[in-house]
Amino acid sequence: MSTADVVVLGAGIVGASCAYHLAARGRRVVVLERRDGPAQGSTGRSNACVRAQWTDPTNIALSWGGIQAYRDFEARHGVDVGYRPFGYLLLVPEHRWDDHLRAMELQRSMGVPVSAVTVAEAGERIPLTPTGLAGATWCPADGGVDPHLATTAYLGMARQHGARVLARSPAVTIEHRGDRWAVRTPDAVVEATAVVNATGGWAGEVAGLAGLTVPVHHSRRMIFASAPVPDRSRVPMTIDLTTGFFIRGENGRLLMGYGGSHEPPVYNDSLDWDWLERVMLAGIDRFPWLGDLPMDRAASWAGTYEVTPDHLPFVGAMPGAEGWFNACGFSGHGVMQAPMAGLLVAEEVVDGRAHTIDIDTLRIERLCQLPGQPPGQPRAGAAELVF
């Protein structure tokens, strides 16, 4: 039996950031991780990209805040987490151009250095067929980071502030006893006044241990790698908004993907090579040279997104479950949003309410209502909430 102020469940990038920000605010933190070490869930299978080009203020704030945190990490904390601003190029079809320009203005008003470029200028960054495109937007601060380095950096800094990180320690039961939570692992019981559920795609299952409902499910995603093609490897992260096909250079190869397969919502990190045909069909009209690209199965991989019903994360206190905090369901954007997630969760726990940005659109109440009550009237008793 041990005690802490906060138990953080999950040592992916989100749990690691939460642990650091809470420990830095003086909370005694214990991190419980089911696997052998950190970043072994979705975090270790990410495409590792970060972008501030979103259409809504909350996602822009979360992701742009994350990019700036990664950009400044070494200067602030003395650790290089592999931030590389290779840029995002979004190829925009004619019917989305006006909306896209409005989103770009919103991003710029929030400090994001994004600009519109012509299709011809986009074609200088990646050879493409211009059919149906109105233009493109380019943000040179978007790019990539090393999720393993970031996760271990956050955990290392949390430890320096006194946190304990326990691997091979799955939460197997969770009870609310008076004003404390008791989290049991096969080897120990940790009691704390607060629990942070940062278990990614397992967050629903873990919340269920405490009788709570958190609608997050796994959704498999695959990244296909080319064989080494040094002449093309400087391609920025490029998304064709006509189809959703994306491609980028990495270490002398091209990495690409497209959407998610419709299959049972369970954890599945096996690669379905047949899916490559769907990916190529989505990309080949825009990038006909894909047809000659040699692919490398051994360098390709799969993992799962941790998806919520509206693809926004759950961040903040759980209604009706005093001391329970959600930090989960980042729906495929947890790497770029983890720095802000940790900051906001620490504010929510320590200050009683997140204040760096308004997180009302991220609170779980946005999706729930009690049986028989009109929407927008959430209430205590999270287990009863209807989604």
Ligand X SMILES: Cc1cc2nc3c(=O)[nH]c(=O)nc-3n(C[C@H](O)[C@H](O)[C@H](O)COP(=O)(O)OP(=O)(O)OC[C@H]3O[C@@H](n4cnc5c(N)ncnc54)[C@H](O)[C@@H]3O)c2cc1C
Gap between the Cα atoms of 133 and 149, Å rounded: 37
Q: Which of 7, 23, 24, 32 binds ligand X (CB under 6 A)?
A: 32
Count of residues in contact with ligand X, rule CB under 6 A: 41
Cβ of residue 360: shortest distance to ligand X, in angstroms? 21
- 219: nearest Cα among 268, 174, 281: 268
- 10 counts as binding ligand X under rule CB under 6 A: yes
Question: In the stretch 331-360, what mask flags binding to ligand X with x, by CB under 6 A?
Answer: -xxxxx------------------------
Which residue in the set 9, 153, 163, 255 belongs to the binding site for ligand X (CB under 6 A)?
9
For residue 4, state whether it binds ligand X (rule: CB under 6 A). Answer: no
Helix axis angle for 334-350 and 13-24, nearest 10°, is: 30
Min CB(202)–ligand X separation in Å? 4
43 binds ligand X (CB under 6 A): yes
Site for ligand X in 181-240 (CB under 6 A): 198-202, 206, 221, 223
Q: How far is the CB of 295 from ligand X (least distance, A)?
A: 16
> Which one of residues 22, 33, 157, 321 is an interface residue with ligand X (CB under 6 A)?
33
Binding mask 146-175 for ligand X (x = CB under 6 A): ------------------------xx----
CA 181, 187, 189 angle in degrees (round to 5)? 15
**Listed residue (200, 174, 151, 215) closest to 364, CA to CA:** 215
Residues recorded for the chain? 387
Q: Which residue has the tokens 């495409």?
A: 47
Q: Is 254 in the site for ligand X (CB under 6 A)?
A: no
Closest distance to ligand X from the beta carbon of 77 (Å): 19
Residue 81 has which token pair?
Answer: 């987490």
Contact (CB, 8 A) for 155 and 38:
yes
Q: Which of residues 293-322 bind ligand X (CB under 6 A)?
A: 303-306
C-alpha to C-alpha distance for 163 and 27, rounded to whole angstroms: 8
Cα–Cα distance measured from residue 158 to residue 346, given in angstroms and rounded to the nearest whole number? 12
What the block records as the tokens of 148 is 């393993």
Contact between 47 and ligand X by CB under 6 A: the answer reads: yes
> Residue type at 126?
I
Choice between 13 and 136, CB closer to ligand X: 13
Helix (H, G, I), strand (E, B) or coil at 338: helix
Contact criterion met (CB below 8 Å) for 212 and 325:
no
**Residue ranges binding ligand X (CB under 6 A):** 9-15, 32-35, 40-43, 45-49, 170-171, 198-202, 206, 221, 223, 303-306, 328, 330, 332-336
